[in-house]
Chain A
């Protein structure tokens, strides 16, 4: 029986050895996951062009990165695409989740499944099918096609996040707003959306990250002027590893960590 002071019992002594084994195993797993990243960050400051020996500290690769036209242009493209994708995914995902939640439809279960399919569909399949589709409807490949493709697989993430939040929402909230004279649209905008804000923000961050990160579908759907950062980086890496890419990765990692911290901070604020 657990003592009143310790809510969780201590591991029985017979398992301590096993416990040590698990401890070592856990450390190994973390090393396996994070050591390459740490090495990469470290080498982004290495004077040597080769990722083998440490020669000295430099910011040169970061400066190179900044003055590299293909990379900065690709970054700009990626940010534009990710921003439009996020806005569209949030609008479609939030609106869709609300409509699915609020009203009954004949095929709502099927609809739900169909909406979630792009989340698990192999990217190569989506890439090919979207390419075929755009070709058939004679849409010129470029920013628009990439954004459309990204929205297709990003909005379900927003929808699912918002749906989860809606499940826990008091249905009387909307009724109270209607009762006090708000039209359905006003009730949604003034009462429901603010209640969904944490889910919308976390869905938006998800959509933005996915869009920034996406390679395969983008390769299929982009045109000449719309190369994104992942496609450019992939092309450069194919030609040979470049310390500039280390620097780029380091920036990416830092940004991602900042994003994660920011979104968990928001979640904490919203639960208070």
Chain B
């Protein structure tokens, strides 16, 4: 549906988007994820036509739109500020796109009614945006963008102005709406949780480059770079050095002298140094010896009670530290406290090797 080929955009000396290649399939919910200033919004603005690439090509539905004006594109956007027209009612706002397309009045009224029902705004049609709550405004912005039936809907951090609870609800509703319409959604956010919840695929951006493209599970379990491992969820990143290789395992030494077994599939032959990434929730902590490929003794330096979870900072002999998160299944069963000596286990399959760069 969308083909982005070698697109680069510079603002003066600053390269906002650096040689991006990305193919977005029809009917897909794709999220452009990254910290502020990573180029995700600039890329989105090139899809909507508010920015023009310095290099490269953008095709939407097979048509070259690289230099096409925004008002000639069959693409609509939901803006971060919603950008509702303050002097128009909800109905007039939603109908604006149809009015521009010169859709007949009866047809337009029918389509507006449908979309109003879809976003549950019945009874608010004659209100002005200033008489609506944040969540309602969000729905108007959404309805206004989908009613002209664009081939692609672009969403620029549309949920960032909502409070946490409403945001959670809207995430589910957006996903449902996207499935219902079968429309291609390109969603921009810096919130990794939002990205994981809604997306079919996630494109992680950093400093204008595409770091990794994949499904939520791929991105989470198989981060390809240190940035992705650290940005999506939490990760312990341990600098490691190659020691020895067998058919079933690769032994590496991490800082402080401890040795770990990692999967040979993760560690390509000839690689000398890399980072080993391990998620805090994949660290098995127990007062009894644990059954893992890698087992170490450790001391609990800090303990942070967080309700359902317990957050531990572990220190190994040699000084290496590791964050661990354990579920608080029962307070009585096996309480772990600061200063306790514990066993810490890491499964080889949970260790992901990422390149340093």
Contacts and interface: CB of A to CB of B under 8 A. Distances in A.
Given A175-B70, A186-B100, A181 B148 contact: yes
A173 interface: yes
B83 interface: yes
Contacts of B69: 178
Interface magnitude class on chain B? 20 to 34
Interface string A153-181: 00000000000000000101101111111
B100 A181 contact: yes
B305 interface: no
B270 interface: no
B83 A194 contact: no
A173 B84 CA distance: 7
Contacts of B83: 170, 172-173, 175-176
Contacts of A179: 48-49, 70-71, 75-77, 145
A181 B147 CA distance: 12
A176 B85 contact: yes
A175 B76 CA distance: 10
Residue of A172, A176, A177, A182 ringed by the most chain B CB atoms within 10 A: A176
Given A180-B76, A181-B101, A195-B87, A175 B50 contact: yes
Interface in B62-82: 69-71, 75-77, 79-81
Interface in B97-118: 97, 100-101
A180 B148 contact: yes
Most A CB within 10 A of own CB, among B75, B96, B144, B145:
B96
B268 interface: no
B85 A191 contact: yes
A201 to B, nearest CB: 14
A183 interface: yes
A170 B137 CA distance: 15
A148 to B, nearest CB: 33
Interface string B210-225: 0000000000000000
A195 B86 contact: yes
A175 B84 CA distance: 11
Interface of B: 48-50, 69-71, 75-77, 79-81, 83-87, 96-97, 100-101, 130, 144-145, 148
Given A170-B81, A175-B48, A176-B77, 20 more contacts: A170-B83, A172-B80, A172-B81, A175-B50, A178-B49, A178-B50, A178-B70, A179-B76, A180-B76, A181-B71, A181-B101, A181-B148, A182-B96, A183-B71, A184-B71, A187-B71, A190-B96, A194-B85, A195-B86, A197-B87
Interface of A: 170, 172-173, 175-184, 186-187, 190-191, 194-195, 197, 272
What are the 9 A-B residue pairs with the smallest beta carbon separation, nearest first?
Answer: A181-B100, A172-B83, A176-B83, A180-B97, A194-B87, A178-B70, A172-B79, A178-B71, A179-B77
